[in-house]
Every structure is written in structure tokens, then in C-alpha cells.
Amino acid sequence: MKILPGNVVLVTGASSGIGREVALAFARRGCRLGLVARRREALEDVGAEVERAGGEALVLPADVSDAAAITTAVERTIDRFGALQVVVPNAGLGRYALAAGQDPLEIEGLIRINFLGTVFTVRAALPHLLGHPPAHIAAVASSAGLIPHRLGSAYCASKAAVIQYLAAVRLEVLDLGVGVSWICPGAVETPFFEGARLDPETDLPLLARLFVRTLDAAEVARATVRAVERNRREVAMPGSVRFFALSRRLTPTLADWINRKLP
Ligand SMILES: NC(=O)c1ccc[n+]([C@@H]2O[C@H](COP(=O)([O-])OP(=O)(O)OC[C@H]3O[C@@H](n4cnc5c(N)ncnc54)[C@H](OP(=O)(O)O)[C@@H]3O)[C@@H](O)[C@H]2O)c1
């Protein structure tokens, strides 16, 4: 869809990293932003940046794993701006451990925030998007949803679930004027790795360490905006992630063997 000044965009996880850059990218296009995350103060700082960049901001502190809270955030955005054209479910976190020992509450948290947070955001927004096309959902998933890696079983599963969920939703809504995209970046320079217990320099598979360059959050934000404009289905980035994802689809046994043997 064409992004026009005044379009209304809801971004979750807007207080930091990729979400903050996505909000700023839409603000530079003159959009009005609903900004969701748990930390009000950090959101207010991003809200001020959005206004300086030429957008308008509504700060909506909420936990995406709380279906009622995210529904209220969607409703407040529509009440305030009178519209909603683009939704970017992006809130998420990474917690890495060997599958045999990972804490059950941590696994539940990954699924609740990364997967259910996306589901609750999409289901809250969809009735409005379907009633007022054209509209678009562009979720930030991860390369981990396409290419599994050691230490990432629960995280990879949460992101693969996001991708399958959106792929199914896309089949329901595309012909009704609502586009759906999922963005699958490799490692991105953000506070994501603080507390994640994964050092991308040492813990990712050798091929990923050698060939997947670390992305800038602003690059991922630009790709997200482009995905909306061009109605892209899946965006895997950088190119090396696209290559690994394709090889895994074509020869999963070989790809998994390499992944196992070159940890
Ligand atoms: N960085 C990477 O290497 C990378 C790679 C691929 C995909 N991703 C994905 O990109 C997305 C954004 O991550 P990032 O790299 O930008 O990390 P980040 O800087 O840590 O940002 C995460 C954002 O999610 C929000 N958040 C976390 N839990 C939440 C909850 N329960 N409810 C509402 N908001 C919540 C955080 O805000 P509050 O703490 O204020 O709630 C923050 O705004 C995530 O989905 C992540 O899985 C990241």
C-alpha cells in the first residue's frame, strides 16, 4: 500500500531497538504513531523523537502478552487518530539455553511475548483493518524462525510460530485488501542481546558467524517500511540469511548436518 502523510501506524516494542527505528521511519513519512511497550518513560522519549521527525505520537504503555491490554491500546489509537492503516507487531525478547535445562517459566515467557503477543496484536487490529482497506500488518519475526540454531530451541520455535500464524492469516485477508509481511533479520545491533545469554560473536553457528553481518536497526526499519509499500510476503535479511533459509528449504538434512557439525 502507498504510505501517505497522516496514515496511522501502531508499533509494539517501540521503546527500543528495531521498534524505535520503525516508529521514526514512519514518522519521517508524516505518519501518526501509536507506540506500545511496557516502559512508559522510554516510550515518551521515543514519542518526543517521533514528533521531532515530523510525526505525531500516542504513548500506550502495555504488555503485549495481555490480550485485554493490547486490545485497549489498539482501541485508544483508533479513538485518538480516527484510523489505523499499518500494524507492526515487533515486541519480543530472546532467552537462550540448551533445551535440556531451560527454565519452564522462561520458555513460557518467550511463547507468551513473542508468539501470543503478536497474535493478540493482530487479532485486536484485524477487524478494523478489514473494515478500512488498504491496510497492512508487517511483523518483525527473525531469521531464527526460518533457520534453527543450537541454544535457541524455544526462541526459534516462538518465531517459527509467528511466521506460520501470519502465513495463515495472510491467506484469509490478502484478497480483502490487507497485506501481511514478516521480516526475518539475522543479528541486529540493539539491546536485545543484554540478558539473552547468547553472544552472536561466539554462539551462533560458524557459517552464520562468518557470513551473516550484523545489521543496523535502521536498516531493518527501512526494510519494514518497504515491505508495506511493496506488499512483500517474507523479508529475510541480509542476503546471506536468504541464502541459508533457501538452502534449508531445499536440502534440510544437509543444512542441519552443517549446522550441527560446524557449531
Ligand atoms: N536484535 C536482534 O538481533 C534481532 C534479530 C532478529 C529479530 N529480532 C526481533 O526484533 C524484535 C525487536 O527486538 P530488538 O532487537 O529491537 O530488541 P530490544 O531493543 O530489546 O527491543 C525489544 C522491545 O520489545 C519490547 N517488549 C519486550 N517485552 C514486551 C512485552 N511483554 N510487552 C510489550 N513490549 C515488550 C521492549 O520494550 P519494554 O521493555 O519497554 O516493554 C522493547 O521495546 C524482537 O521481536 C526480536 O525478537 C531481533
pLDDT in tens, 160-199: 999 999 999 999 999 999 999 999 999 999 999 998 988 8
Quote the CA–CA distance of 105 and 111 in Å, as a whole number: 10
- Report whether residue 59 contacts ligand 1, using a CB cutoff of 6 Å: no
Residue 3 within a domain: no
Q: What is the CATH number of the domain that holds 159?
A: 3.40.50.720
Residue 67 within a domain: yes
- Strands annotated E in 161-243: 178-185, 188-189, 215-216, 234-237
Which residue's alpha carbon is at the smallest distance from atom 46 of ligand 1?
Answer: 92
Residue 214 within a domain: yes
- Report whether residue 92 contacts ligand 1, using a CB cutoff of 6 Å: yes
> Which residue out of 35, 49, 90 has the highest number of ligand 1 atoms within 8 Å of its CB and is therefore the one to mutate?
90
Cell digits of residue 162: 509467528
- Report whether residue 13 contacts ligand 1, using a CB cutoff of 6 Å: yes
Indicate if 155 belongs to the active site.
Answer: yes
Quote the CA–CA distance of 231 and 91 in Å, as a whole number: 21
Phi and psi (nearest 5°) for 245?
-65, -40
pLDDT in tens, 122-167: 999 999 999 999 999 999 999 999 999 889 999 999 999 999 999 9
Residue 37 within a domain: yes
Parent domain of 180: 8-261
Catalytic residue among 96, 155, 165, 182: 155
CA geometry: angle 62, 192, 164, nearest 5 deg: 70
Q: How many distinct structural domains can be found in the chain?
A: 1
Residue 1 within a domain: no
Edge-to-edge strands, sheet with 86-88: 56-61, 32-37, 8-12, 86-88, 135-140, 178-185, 234-237
Spans of the chain, pLDDT less than 70: 263
Residue 55 within a domain: yes
